[in-house]
Amino acid sequence: MISRIKEIFNQHFIFTIAIAITIVVYSRFLFFGHISWDDPEMVFKNKAVQNFDIQALFTNHYVGNYIPLTMLAHAIGWLLFENNDAGHHAINILFHLINGILIYNLGKRLFKNNVLANIGAIIFLLHPLQIESVGWISELKNILSTTFYLGGMLSYLNYFDSGKQKYYLITLLFFILACLSKSSAVIFSLIILFLDFFLNKKFEVKSILNKIPFLILAIIFGIINIKAQTADQFINYSHAFSFLQRIGFAGFALLKYLVLFVFPVNLSVIYPYPEIKNSTFILGYIFLIVLFIMFFFLIKNKKTDWLYLILFIVINLILVLQFVPFGEVLYADRYMYIPLAGFAWLTGYLFSKTKIPVRLISGCLIVLLAALTFIRSTAWSSAISLYEDIIKKYPKQFIALNSAGVEYMFLNNDAKALEYLNRAVVAAPNNYKGFYNRGLLYLKNNKPELAIKSFNQSLQLYDYSKAYVGRAAAYYMLKDLPKAINDANIVLQTDPNNAKARFVLANSYNDLNKIDDALREYNKCIQINPDDPNYYFKRAIVYGKQQDFNQCLNDLTVCIHLDPVYYEAYYWRGVAKVNLKQDPCEDFQVAARNNLEQAVKAFNKYCVPHP
């Protein structure tokens, strides 16, 4: 057994070292948290994931994606690790390592070249461009779909070599699983079409016909994805340029991907769209012309290895070249996760033609790429460090400025939050979200007049229901109850399950002493969101007004169960117990220890013996 392990280690020495170094480099992510982009919606605030609701996972779309298999993987991750960030990072790292193994085996199978296979795997595993996919928990969709994608390529090679239908069916199954993990895997249908050409050195009718099921499924999953992207407003018509401009931008993006691969410095999660200048489009068109000339030369000279590798890169990037505009960026590191394998194999092919010892090349690459990846990964240590990294490179990038402002607000660094949100609204005066978030910050800091001004600016740009809720809360803070009620009702006309709007409405009715109306709205709040302690606390106060102290006591107990540091609830539970002739001293004592003045007085009155 030991001798067999030694034999395997010696046969795959370079690759084994690459795997080990990858584990070391990415292990630091086990000490990093998650970020506020997509991770909460996908995992950490996703009730379907946390409740292992398989029906919801397979019938809903999340952050513009229909990805039920990925969501199931997140649910399993939650079952194992709950809100432990390290566990979720470990899942991403594990699948990245599996993908590295698949890339290594594919390199050997496709090209029969050990140098290419080793160098390709090293670059795939350790290139800094991979950090975004591996380090971003919600990008599990990218990594998991790649696992099935690469597994499908290997099973297709088995089908090609043996002709056995079971391998064809396994390939089809892998393709479906890849699409259910991330719909961009539809491009696999074209990859295996050109794989036949690479293996046969020509196209055959049979090889085209057996791709029909893949193409049909690709169309179906493509339509599903477009509908999901549209529903979640990820199709970005502000970037709907003319056809000729899109072609130029596509060429420019391809050029940037090549540059980022060769010179992986100044990487960023966001690369803003370049300014619309003739030079941008000229560069894009020149690069495309060079690419077409290269294709012509390779076809003419029957350089099928080179041709397939370049096609592998371009085809896997084709869906993210913004022909259908989505998101806010023209290109991104995470879009390179699979295409980078093509770049890696090309690099390995070039090195295999030299006389430099493979161990020397591999050692240098491992050290260089591991160092670059380790340094770059520091930016992912927290959401703040990530947003600050973007802002350092792109000081007027609205998304990063806005996100940093919100993150600092959550961290209660309100001065820093205001600085970034002010910069955000200056950078993008037509984006409603910056004004909305600044309104929330003013609301948090008990500045309702300024909050209303910011919410008004947001609503002038977009009829945003959350801005109405925020403004309703600000009006309530000013005790302008008619306006608070009006704004809350505007929201509830189109979104009757908006608990925050109902809460403002309930509080307003409570202040107007419309007890029955207030109780009705608090009941609805709790039906919509039974996990918010504030709803139970406020309903308890209404029950207290009705002299229903049993219900009052029950609600305050639930409130404290949901939030054990809700000290005001302890005080009022003590009051309810006084009225029910129960011992209130423990509750008064907890509240008094946390500086509630009325609790101190109550404790002295009811719990301290008097001479």
- Does residue 595 share a domain with residue 531? no
**Rounded Cα–Cα distance for residues 72 and 274 (Å):** 37
DSSP string, 292-338: HHHHHHHHHTT-HHHHHHHHHHHHHHGGGSSSS-BSSEEE-GGGGTT
Residue where a domain stops, chosen among 380, 401, 420: 380
Tens digits of per-residue pLDDT, 11-67?
778 899 999 999 999 999 999 999 988 899 999 998 899 999 899 888 888 877 889
- Does residue 395 share a domain with residue 364? no
Question: How far is C-alpha 304 from the chain's CA centre?
Answer: 37
User: Mean pLDDT over residues 342-351, rounded?
Assistant: 92
- Does residue 391 share a domain with residue 349? no
Judge whether 472 and 504 are in contact, CB under 8 Å.
Answer: yes
User: Mean pLDDT over residues 225-254, rounded?
Assistant: 71
Residue 358: is its pLDDT beyond 70?
A: yes
**Rounded Cα–Cα distance for residues 324 and 240 (Å):** 8
Q: What is the pLDDT of residue 197?
A: 78
Residue 535: is its pLDDT beyond 90?
A: yes
**Rounded Cα–Cα distance for residues 9 and 544 (Å):** 73
Closest CA to 44 of 135, 137, 131: 137
pLDDT band, residue 233 (cuts 50/70/90) = low
Residue 397: is its pLDDT beyond 70?
A: yes
**Rounded Cα–Cα distance for residues 361 and 352 (Å):** 10
Q: Which residue bears the tokens 């991750």?
A: 77
**Rounded Cα–Cα distance for residues 282 and 284 (Å):** 5
Closest CA to 321 of 287, 362, 361: 287
List helix spans (H) across 138-264: 140-162, 165-181, 188-200, 205-209, 212-231, 243-262
- Of the listed ranges 143-152, 200-209, 308-317, the least confidently predicted one is 200-209
Phi–psi pair at 52, nearest 5 degrees: 50, 50
Q: What is the pLDDT of residue 280?
A: 81
pLDDT band, residue 499 (cuts 50/70/90) = very high
Judge whether 325 and 236 are in contact, CB under 8 Å.
Answer: yes
Residue 458: is its pLDDT beyond 70?
A: yes
Q: What is the pLDDT of residue 199?
A: 79
Share of the chain above pLDDT 90, in %: 62
pLDDT band, residue 239 (cuts 50/70/90) = low
Q: Is 452 left (phi over 0), alpha (psi -120 to 50) or beta?
A: alpha
Q: How many domains does the chain have?
A: 3
Judge whether 409 and 440 are in contact, CB under 8 Å.
Answer: yes
- Does residue 412 share a domain with residue 307? no
Residue 230: is its pLDDT beyond 70?
A: no
Closest CA to 340 of 516, 125, 553: 125
Closest CA to 214 of 149, 139, 144: 149
User: Mean pLDDT over residues 484-512, rounded?
Assistant: 93
Q: Which residue bears the tokens 């001479």?
A: 611
- Does residue 67 share a domain with residue 214? yes
Q: Which two tokens stand for residue 443?
A: 């609301």
Instruction: Compute CA distances 197 → 103, 278, 316, 346, whole Å.
Output: 20, 38, 17, 18
- Does residue 266 share a domain with residue 157? yes
- Does residue 447 share a domain with residue 340? no
User: Mean pLDDT over residues 150-175, rounded?
Assistant: 93
Q: What is the pLDDT of residue 324?
A: 66
- Does residue 582 share a domain with residue 539? no
- Does residue 165 share a domain with residue 123? yes
- Does residue 411 share a domain with residue 368? no
Residue 345: is its pLDDT beyond 90?
A: yes
pLDDT band, residue 436 (cuts 50/70/90) = very high
Q: What is the pLDDT of residue 84?
A: 93
Q: Which of the two residues, 172 and 194, has the higher pLDDT score?
A: 172
Q: How does the average pLDDT of the chain come out, rounded?
A: 89
User: Mean pLDDT over residues 219-241, rounded?
Assistant: 69
- Does residue 122 share a domain with residue 152? yes
Q: What is the pLDDT of residue 295?
A: 86
Residue 517: is its pLDDT beyond 90?
A: yes
CATH code of the domain in which 610 resides: 1.25.40.10
Residue where a domain stops, chosen among 543, 573, 592: 543
Domain that holds residue 583: 544-611
Q: What is the pLDDT of residue 435?
A: 95
- Does residue 92 share a domain with residue 73? yes
Residue where a domain stops, chosen among 380, 410, 432: 380
Judge whether 60 and 48 are in contact, CB under 8 Å.
Answer: yes
DSSP letter (8 states) at residue 45: T
Residue 536: is its pLDDT beyond 60?
A: yes
Question: How far is C-alpha 181 from the chain's CA centre?
Answer: 14
Q: What is the pLDDT of residue 10?
A: 64
